[in-house]
A and B are shown apart, each in its own frame.
Chain A
Amino acid sequence: MTASPPDPEATAVAARDLRFAWPGHAPVLDLPSFDVARGERVFLWGPSGSGKSTLLGLLGGVLEVGAGELQVLGTPLHGLRAAQRDRFRATRIGFIFQQFNLLPYLSVVDNVVLPCRFSSRRRHEALRQSANVDAEAHRLLDHLGLKGALLERPVTDLSIGQQQRVAAARALIGAPELLIADEPTSALDHDARGRFLELLLGECATAGTTVLFVSHDTSLGTHFDRQVALAEINQASAP
C-alpha cells in the first residue's frame, strides 16, 4: 500500500509506514498511512491494546519513531532529537488526559497558564489574545463555562467535569495548533460528557485548532468530522 506524500501546509498529522516496537518485542504500531488535515476534528476509536498509547507517545514526541515517517504540523518528528521533540510538544500541541490532569498545589489559573511558563511561543500567542497570561486564562475558562468564585477554589475541590474544563483551557492556552485528547470524558457522566465536548469543540473551532480525540466510547464519534478505528489502520494489532 502506498500513499501520496503529505502536503505540509494542509496536513496536521501525516504518518507513512510508521512503526514502533519496544526493544525485543513484536511491533505494537504499524501504520501504513494516517493523515489528519489541518483544522479537522478526528475521532480516533481506540480500545485498550490498539496501540493508542504508543501513537500518542509518538505524536507527543515522547517516543522515538522506530521506522517510517511521522510529520506533525509540517515538522518531521522522525528527524528530531529528544530535546527538539520536547520543545516541539511544548509549543505546538495541547494535551488533555483522562482525569486528574491538574497539579493539586497550583490554583486554577496557575494550572491553566503552565504551558506559557515552559514555552515562550505559547506565552507570546496568549499575549496576542489578552493583556497578560492570567487574563487569557480567565478568558478561556470563561468560554468553557468556569468563572467567578469557582476559580478561587483549590483544584481538588472542583468536580471532575470542572477539572476537565480547566485542563481543556490549559491545553488551548497559547493557541497550540493541535489538540490531543486522550479519553478526557471517560470519568464524566452522560450529560457532563455532552456539555464538555460541545464547549471544547466549540472553542477549537473558534481557534481553528486541529483535534485528535481518542476514546473507546464510539457513541461520541458523531460530534466529529471524521471517525477512524485505530485497530483497522494499525497493522500490528490486526489479529
Chain B
Amino acid sequence: MSALGTIIGLATRSLYNRRGTALLTVASIAISVALLLGVEKIRTEARSSFASTISGTDLIVGARSGDINLLLYSVFRIGNATNNISWQSYQDITSRPEVAWAIPISLGDSHRGFRVMGTTQDYFQHYRFARDRPLKLAEGKAFSTVFETVLGANVAQELGYRVGDPVVIAHGAGATSFMEHDDKPFTVVGILARTGTPVDRTVHVSLEGIEAIHVDWQQGARMPGANVSAEAVLQMDLQPEAITAFLLGLQSRMATFGLQRAINEYPEEPLLAIIPGVALQQLWELVGVVEIALLAVSLCVVAAGLIGMLTAILTSLNERRREMAILRAVGARPWQVLMLILSEAGLLAFCGVALGLAGVLALSAAAAPWLENRFGIFIGLQVPGLFELAVAAIVVGAALVIGLWPAWKAYRNALADGLTIRV
C-alpha cells in the first residue's frame, strides 16, 4: 500500500469513527451544493425556456407603448395593451412586399383565468417557438368557423376539456368575471400539444369569434335590449375594426430594421415594432438581477458549508493530538500528518458533493413534471454535465485549500508535540 493510500485509508476510518459529526458536515456541504446546482439548473432552464417562448417572428407590432410592455402582452399574455391597432393599419402594413406572413392578435377576454386570443389560421401555420418548432394539434383540428376554439394544453388539462365541450368566454382578463358572453358559447375543436410556452395557457378563437361576442357590447358592457342571437350574428359582417397586436414574418431578415423604422414612423397611427429577440433580452436583463442575486446567495451557502467543515476539523484537532503523536511514533512524517487532515477535508467535500449531486438529480427527476406543468420549464434528465463536474471540482478544490489551514496547524502540533502525548 502506498504512503498516500495509507493516509487516505486512515483518514477514512478516522472519519468513520467520528461519523456523527462527519455526516453532519457532509450533509451541510451536500445541501449547499444541491442548492447551487439546483438554482443554476432552474436559472439556465428558465432562461432557455424564456428565450424559446417565441421564434421565427421577425417583428411584433402593437400600439405605441414600451418594448417590454408590448412583448409581455403579445407573447406572455401578461398585462394589457394601452391601445388597439386599426384594421386598416394592419392591412396597410401587411400588404407591404417585405412581409411574408402576418398573425393578427386580439386580446381582452378570458376564460376562467386563461386569456382568450383571437387570431387567424395563419397562427397555426406560422407561429414558431423554441428552435423553429411549429404548433401541433394533440387532438382535433384548427378552428374554421366563428364559434370554434382551440385550447392550449394546460387549459385543456386544468379545466378538463375535451374536443366537443362548450366554452363560455368572459369579458375582461380576470379569473372570475360576472360578465360572460354566455349567449354565444364556443365549441372546443382542437387541443394543442404542449409547448412549454404561454401558448399552453391560451384559449384560441378566430378574430371573427371575438368580433361576434362583442357585437351587442359597447364600452365593456352589454347594451341593454340589444341582444343579437348567435345565429343572427353569423349573418353579420364580422370583419374586426381593430386588433391588439400582430406578428410579422419577413421575406428576408435583412429587411427587419428598415420595416421596423417604417412602422415606428407610420404616419396614420402611433405604432411600435419590436424585434422579439432584442426585447426578450431586455426583459431578461430585468429578471437577471434576481437571477444573479439567487446565484450569489447559493454561492454564499456553499461557502457556509465549507466553513462548517473547517470548524468541524479545527475543533477536532485538539482532541486528536494523541492520535497524531501515536502516528508520529509509528513512523508518520509531519507531512503525512498534514496529508491526513487534508485528505479528511477532501473526503468530506467529495462525499458532500457526490451526495449533493445525487440529491439534485433525484429532486429534478421528481420535480420535473411539476415544473413543466406549473411553469413550463423543461428540466432535462441529463447525466452530470460539464457545469456540475466543474462545480464538484471547484468545491473539492476549495475544501482542500481551506483544509490547508487545519492541516498546517496539525503539522505544527505534530512538530511541537513530537512523541509526547498531550491531553
* Interface 9-residue window, one of A5-13, A53-61, A69-77, A135-143: A53-61
Distance (Å) between the CB of A3 and the closest chain B CB?
27
Within 8 A of B (CB), among A76-126: 82-83, 86-87, 89-91, 95, 97-98, 100-106, 114-115, 117-119, 122
Interface size classification for chain A: 20 to 34
B333 in complex: contacting residue of A63, A83, A95, A115, CB < 8 Å? A83
Asked whether any CB of chain B lies closer than 8 Å to the CB of A170, the reply is yes
* Contact between B16 and A105, CB atoms less than 8 A apart: yes
Asked whether any CB of chain A lies closer than 8 Å to the CB of B1, the reply is yes
Asked whether any CB of chain A lies closer than 8 Å to the CB of B334, the reply is yes
Known: A103-B323, A106-B13, A118-B336. A63 touches B330 (CB 8 A): no
Task: Give bound CA distance, A104 to B320, whole Å.
Answer: 11
* Contact between A105 and B14, CB atoms less than 8 A apart: yes
Q: Per-residue CB proximity of B307-343 to A under 8 Å, as 1/0?
A: 0000000000000001101111111111010000000
Asked whether any CB of chain B lies closer than 8 Å to the CB of A158, the reply is no
* Contact between B333 and A53, CB atoms less than 8 A apart: no
* Contact between B420 and A57, CB atoms less than 8 A apart: yes
Asked whether any CB of chain B lies closer than 8 Å to the CB of A67, the reply is no
* Contact between B13 and A53, CB atoms less than 8 A apart: no
Task: Give bound CA distance, A87 to B332, whole Å.
Answer: 9
* Contact between B13 and A89, CB atoms less than 8 A apart: no
* Contact between B419 and A104, CB atoms less than 8 A apart: no
* Contact between A62 and B418, CB atoms less than 8 A apart: yes
Asked whether any CB of chain A lies closer than 8 Å to the CB of B159, the reply is no
Task: Give bound CA distance, A115 to B326, whole Å.
Answer: 11
* Contact between B16 and A118, CB atoms less than 8 A apart: no
Task: Give bound CA distance, A105 to B14, whole Å.
Answer: 6
Distance (Å) between the CB of A76 and the closest chain B CB?
20
Kindly list chain A residues whose C-beta atoms are within 8 Å of the C-beta of B334: 82, 86
Known: A103-B323, A105-B13, A105-B17. A170 touches B418 (CB 8 A): no
Asked whether any CB of chain A lies closer than 8 Å to the CB of B3, the reply is yes
Interface of B is mostly: helix
Known: A102-B326, A118-B6. A53 touches B17 (CB 8 A): no
Beyond A56-B419, A97-B325: 10 further Cβ-contacts under 8 Å?
A83-B333, A89-B329, A90-B333, A97-B329, A97-B421, A103-B14, A103-B326, A105-B14, A118-B336, A170-B330
* Contact between B326 and A60, CB atoms less than 8 A apart: no
Give the interface of B toward A (CB within 8 A). Answer: 1, 3, 6, 10, 13-14, 16-17, 322-323, 325-334, 336, 418-421
16 A–B pairs (Cβ distance < 8 Å), ordered by A: A57-B420, A60-B329, A60-B418, A60-B419, A62-B328, A86-B333, A90-B330, A98-B421, A100-B322, A101-B326, A103-B323, A103-B326, A105-B14, A105-B17, A106-B10, A118-B332
Kindly list chain B residues whose C-beta atoms are within 8 Å of the C-beta of A62: 328, 418-419
Within 8 A of B (CB), among A142-168: none
B331 in complex: contacting residue of A56, A102, A103, A119, CB < 8 Å? A119
Distance (Å) between the CB of B1 and the closest chain A CB?
6
Task: Give bound CA distance, A97 to B330, whole Å.
Answer: 11
Distance (Å) between the CB of A83 and the closest chain B CB?
7
* Contact between A114 and B330, CB atoms less than 8 A apart: yes
Task: Give bound CA distance, A108 to B303, whole Å.
Answer: 39
Distance (Å) between the CB of A116 and the closest chain B CB?
9
Task: Give bound CA distance, A170 to B331, whole Å.
Answer: 11
* Contact between A89 and B420, CB atoms less than 8 A apart: no
Kindly list chain B residues whose C-beta atoms are within 8 Å of the C-beta of A122: 331
Kindly list chain B residues whose C-beta atoms are within 8 Å of the C-beta of A100: 322, 421
Task: Give bound CA distance, A173 to B214, whole Å.
Answer: 99
* Contact between A117 and B1, CB atoms less than 8 A apart: yes
Distance (Å) between the CB of A127 and the closest chain B CB?
14
* Contact between B326 and A57, CB atoms less than 8 A apart: no
Kindly list chain B residues whose C-beta atoms are within 8 Å of the C-beta of A106: 10, 13
Q: Per-residue CB proximity of A158-188 to B under 8 Å, as 1/0?
A: 0000000000001000000000000000000
* Contact between B420 and A53, CB atoms less than 8 A apart: yes
